[in-house]
Amino acid sequence: MKKKILLSLLFTFLLGFTACNDYLDVQPATGFTEAEVFSSESEIQSAVAGVYTLMLSDDAYSNRLAFVFNPNTDVEMAGVSTNTVNVNGSDIACFEPKPYWTTLNSTWNAMYKIINLSNDIIEGIEKSDIYKADKKDKASKVTQLYGEVKTLRAMVYLDMIRIWGDVVFRTKSSVGGEDFTVGVTDRNKILEFLIDDLKSVEPLMQYASELDYGTERASRSFNQGLIGLLALTRGGWALRPDTDAAGIGHMVRGENYEMYYDTAIQYLGKVINEKHHDLKLSYRDFWVKQNNWVTPVDDDVMFSLPLLKSVSGEYAYSIGIPITAGSHPYGSASGSLSLCGTYLYSFDVKDLRRDVTCAPYSYDANLNQVIRLNLAQLATGKWSKLYETAPLGSTSTKSTGVNYSWMRFADVLLMYAEAVNERVGLREDAKECLRRVRRRAFDKADWSAKVDAYVDSKTTQAQFFNAIVDERAWEFGGESKRKFDLARWNKYGEVIYNQYNKLLNWGKVANGAYVAGVDNVPGSVYWKNIPDPNNAGRTILDIKGINEILYAKPAGYTEQVFASAWYSLNSDTQAYEPRNDIKWSFRGFINFNNASSKTPNDPLRYLCPYPSKVITDHRGNIQNYYGFNY
């Protein structure tokens, strides 16, 4: 498709595109020639807004990238109760995606639409007289837009790499249409290009506080943070194919990883030292504001995809606390994204993030809390329609317009601490970054024990790294970061191996068996409804047994069987076995049939296969590995 036709079609689409976020509510004329499109700042901004528009489709960041492409971890978990392939594609969670799933193909195409349009706009800006005339001695609106679209392109490529590994790499205009003669490019080469490309535009970009629409646009600070993340990804581990296409593959760390960790330290350090972001709001207040479509420019959010009310977005619907539709003004919510039940118990009992992140309940049609606590039923509490001060109405379902906070300042602090620890060990600035994240997680009265003493207790490089691993789990639960972290740390196989056995052993111990090293396992919790002190006529749950082992049911409480239900007598086999969702939730790596032959050092196939149509269209220039060659 020729560039001018592509842009004309995009602008025609945007004419009918209404938004609560005005940056996307552009109203350009249509039918411009290529030269005219880039003759003014406003026309360039309209074109860049089109990139955001494509990013907000269901096949991209409104749905698929938010939660559909989530393999199971020790944090997020979709319970899979069968050893039979699910035809609709949900088996991504248990590490058995299939090349023929249309979900993979539609997302692949959606991501390349974003990349292709970005390439067209980059080339158009470079050819425009207004860009050529810019002195480029300081940041301007034109250089910001140029850097902005390059930053968005880099973000999309990073997500594609994290889903598929090596991908087709284009940086030039797509005039002439799809090129099916090319194969994929090694992901390290792509990451190296993107790092250098973002470095080249970073000095001429603007900070969120200088931009209309703030962190809903890719700012200079986000560019810096993204360079850091790209560098850690390049310097981290990745699954590489075996020479035998049927093999699962093996984990490899990128060459010269030290150099890339140094780059991460430099650019993540810029974000921290330039002080354009902080952790000012409390953890709870931060998420309440997110659910009310409020994103301060100088707080935790580094970049937030501007999803649109009644148009796009599934935060507080698919990702959040389930709600049954009723006469109330909040509409329904499915709460499809669940957290693993054991995750709730991993938190320090004084950690304020626990009760914000983990919701062991749903809401009924009268907005009373209903118990919802089991292996893979723990709701993600960061998002809830009940946080809304101006609800969308009793018939509202999806398209909440709650933004997708793709990168937060807490992420930058912990990445910086990780990189410094890797390169030079326990340096004070790395320790202070961990303290900053934990200070927000605990009441000030607890800082001495839970922040200072905790961080000081990590006296070796390995202990500090493990503290970062834990902290990222507690800080980012439900935000779909864990899978990427575990992969680049080369800990995914180890964590899933341990998680499978943890679930199995909790079930055994809860039923009275002895398992060495496993104790204090919660067998049941107990609950009753009590009046909601903040909402007359409604009830909330009083839950006992989460922070303590109770050996008898408290008077007036109902028992909720927890881990004791995870291992029981199979009436067909007359043998004691784990529940089906323990048997099969990780089946592409470890399951009831192969557990005895697995080790924590085995590579885990966390990548997706290339879609079958991509294989066909590229006429032999692309093929699947990792056992996906079927």
User: What is the per-residue pLDDT for 121?
Assistant: 95
DSSP 77-133: ------SSPPTTSGGGTTT---TT-HHHHHHHHHHHHHHHHHHHHHHHHHHSHHHHH
User: What is the per-residue pLDDT for 178?
Assistant: 58
- 3 state DSSP class of 405: strand
- 3 state DSSP class of 548: coil
User: What is the per-residue pLDDT for 180?
Assistant: 63
Token code pair at residue 617 = 């269209």
Q: What is the pLDDT of residues 534-577, one digit of tens each?
A: 999 999 999 998 887 788 899 999 998 889 889 988 888 888 89
Q: What is the pLDDT of residues 466-507, one digit of tens each?
A: 999 999 999 999 999 999 999 999 999 999 999 999 999 999
User: What does the CA dihedral 193, 196, 197, 201 come to, rounded to 10 degrees?
Assistant: 170
- 3 state DSSP class of 33: coil
In angstroms, rounded to a whole number, what is the distance separating the alpha carbons of residues 176 and 297?
40
Which segments of the chain have a pLDDT < 50? 1-33, 35
Domain boundaries, the chain: 494-597
Token code pair at residue 575 = 């043998």
- 3 state DSSP class of 211: coil
Those residues with Cβ within 8 angstroms of residue 320's Cβ, 6 or more apart along the chain or in another chain? 333, 335, 337, 379, 380, 381, 382, 383, 384, 385
Are the beta carbons of 493 and 601 closer than 8 angstroms? yes
Count of H-run helices and E-run strands, the chain:
21, 14
